[in-house]
Amino acid sequence: MLAAVVGYTARRFRYAMVMPNLMPPITTSAAARAYRDRILRHAPETAHGFRPIMALYCSPLIDLDDLRAGIDDGIIAAVKYYPAGATTNSEAGGTSLSAFRDLFEVLVETETRLLVHAESTNASIDIFAREAAFLEDELAPLCSEMPELRVTVEHVSTRAGVDFVSEHPQAAASITPHHLARERSHLLADGMRPDLYCKPIINSADDQAALVTAATTGNPAFFMGTDSAPHPTTAKYGPKAKAGVFNAAYGLEVVADVFANTGALDNLAAFVSENGCEVYGVEHPEHRLELMAEDVDIERATTLTTDDGDDVVLFGAEEATRWSVRAI
């Protein structure tokens, strides 16, 4: 699967913040280095200076001295917190942010970001309210207790998430193409669409509108993060669909379409390229891409097939028929 999908990201993006929720999870700097090397071995030669940025999986297995060493060596750029059971491969996650205070102190000391999957796992809370509940019950107290801790709310999905970032100066947020371009009626109204099922779940039209406003108005705290997840159709089409959308292939076209429909193309480069670089303190890319709004004559692929015969659905093929992308 890695060999089949990494080129979609490497040809379009200079940087990728690589999620550590493998089986087993990435909890050491050595494992992060080995994973980075595997990714780079599969990156196509046409990728211009593609750089995977590695994160560790927030876990009691993390050795704090190893974490410091990995940060000093430049191999570790962040730590990702998953509430246990919230999303794919999150079983090794935490039951409370408060349990990792010592680890977070190392992040403050080294000026390293905490990435957070902001979703409550309390079964009594409505699925569409779980981001707001986690932010209020877990992340807000942590930000108050540790105002120096830099936090990224990953793949923010609600108006409550947008408001949280606006109210906390140390917070930033990534927004996915699918959360920008779709709302829950697309997921549920005309038959359940497993290819749109993700975590946090795609939410209401009002939440979508808040995300679009946050993205398109140039606010530097918000930037594109694909959260691209290539689950094969055998895992998506069944009694329990795996959570995840594979959007690396056409994510830029989807976001460009949102910005064009909002009359905000002047702010597109900031959202997809500049803001994230500033949040993570990396150099801006030297190479540039040009997106042209035009009908594309060739038919866009809607699936990819791995060498093992697994099919993965490509999100955004419709938007991709309205845009062409080329390197300049």
Catalytic residues: 227
Cβ distance 30 to 6 under 8 Å?
no
Counting Cβ atoms within 10 Å, is residue 279 exposed (0-12), middle (13-18) or buried (19+)? Answer: buried
Residue 204 is encoded by which pair of tokens? 């209401």
Taking alpha carbons only, the member of 150, 148, 146, 143 closest to residue 79 is 150
User: Would you list the DSSP string of 255-289?
Assistant: HHHHHHHTT-GGGHHIIIIIHHHHHHT-PPPSS-E
Phi–psi pair at 219, nearest 5 degrees = -60, 120
Q: Cα-flanking dihedrals φ and ψ of residue 114, to 5°? A: -100, 125
Q: What is the DSSP string of 76-90?
A: --EEEE-BTTSSTT-
Residue among 276, 289, 277, 299 at smallest CA distance from 325: 289
- DSSP class of residue 228 equals B
